[in-house]
């Protein structure tokens, strides 16, 4: 009898302990889980911050490389079309590209070109087209490109070129476009500019001072069509 009584009492005690353990299980696990969650969140935040910093550094590097590439491209461009350059290339200040003084005999250059080109009619002006000049481009570079599309060349007999600061477009023929570009920058030159269309040499000349040869062989723009 006493044996069974002790067994029953012991069983009740064990049942009570088991119940207490089950009731306290959720708080125990919750308390142990919170620091782990905080640690994971901290790790994620740290990783995101490091990734953001790395991305910012990469973007800065890309921007610097892009700027350097643009400057190198402009220097190489002028070196190829204007001969040898001293230093690290043309000096650019306030959207003005300072070029070396033009070299050579302009009359001989045009005479030689006239021997290898087919003359255009004196009244030729080309087709009306859209000629955009975008931010960062140079006037001489884009004008030469558009002239090339019309089988012409541009002789930029100046010691300065200009980087486009505010984009614009000229919806005219190439002869009129050349005249308007030249007149837009003539205020930068003490004597203004003269723009000639040498139709026999398929050449547009932008120059500060005219010459007897240009007056005789070429058309001084504008004419009545311009």
Q: Is 142 found in the same domain as 61?
A: no
Q: Is 61 found in the same domain as 105?
A: no
Query: Where is mean pLDDT largest: 11-15, 78-82, 156-160?
Result: 156-160
Among 57, 89, 121, which residue terminates a domain? 89
Q: Is 192 found in the same domain as 124?
A: yes
Q: Is 62 found in the same domain as 101?
A: no
Q: Is 199 found in the same domain as 101?
A: yes
Does 1 score more than 90 pLDDT? no
Nearest one of 131, 135, 158 to 143, comparing CA atoms: 131
Q: Is 122 found in the same domain as 23?
A: no
Tell me whether residue 226 is in a domain.
Answer: no
Q: Is 77 found in the same domain as 107?
A: no
Strand spans (E) along 22-108:
91-93, 96-98
Does 193 score more than 90 pLDDT? yes
pLDDT bracket for residue 2 (50, 70, 90): low
Summarize the confidence of residues 29-41 as an average pLDDT: 44
Q: Is 110 found in the same domain as 43?
A: no
Does 208 score more than 50 pLDDT? yes
* Residue 178 and residue 131 in contact, taking contact as beta carbons nearer than 8 Å: no
Count of domains for the chain? 2
E strand or H helix at 197, and its extent? strand 194-198
Query: Is the whole model's pTM more than 0.75, yes or no?
Result: no
Q: Is 108 found in the same domain as 207?
A: yes
**Domain boundaries, position 46:** 1-89
pLDDT bracket for residue 96 (50, 70, 90): very high
101: phi then psi, degrees, rounded to nearest 5: -60, 140
Vertex 39 angle, CA 38 and 41, to 5° = 65
pLDDT bracket for residue 90 (50, 70, 90): confident
Which neighbouring-strand residues pair with 207? 157, 194
């Amino acid at each position: 009898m006493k044996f069974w009584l002790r067994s029953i009492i012991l069983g009740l005690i064990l049942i009570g302990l088991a119940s207490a353990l089950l009731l306290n299980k959720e708080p125990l696990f919750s308390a142990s889980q919170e620091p782990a969650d905080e640690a994971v969140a901290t790790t994620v935040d740290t990783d995101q911050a490091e990734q953001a910093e790395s991305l910012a550094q990469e973007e800065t590097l890309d921007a610097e490389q892009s700027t350097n590439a643009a400057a190198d491209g402009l220097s190489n461009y002028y070196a190829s079309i204007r001969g040898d350059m001293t230093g690290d290339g043309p000096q650019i200040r306030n959207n003005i590209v300072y070029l070396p003084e033009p070299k050579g005999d302009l009359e001989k250059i045009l005479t030689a070109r006239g021997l290898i080109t087919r003359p255009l009619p004196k009244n030729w002006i080309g087709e009306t087209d859209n000629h955009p000049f975008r931010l960062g481009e140079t006037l001489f570079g884009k004008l030469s490109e558009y002239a090339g599309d019309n089988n012409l060349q541009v002789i930029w007999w100046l010691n300065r070129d200009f980087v486009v600061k505010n984009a614009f477009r000229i919806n005219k023929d190439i002869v009129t476009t050349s005249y308007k570009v030249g007149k837009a920058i003539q205020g930068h030159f003490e004597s203004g500019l003269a723009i000639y269309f040498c139709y026999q040499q398929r050449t547009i000349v932008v120059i500060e001072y005219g010459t007897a040869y240009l007056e005789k062989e070429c058309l001084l723009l504008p004419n009545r069509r311009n």
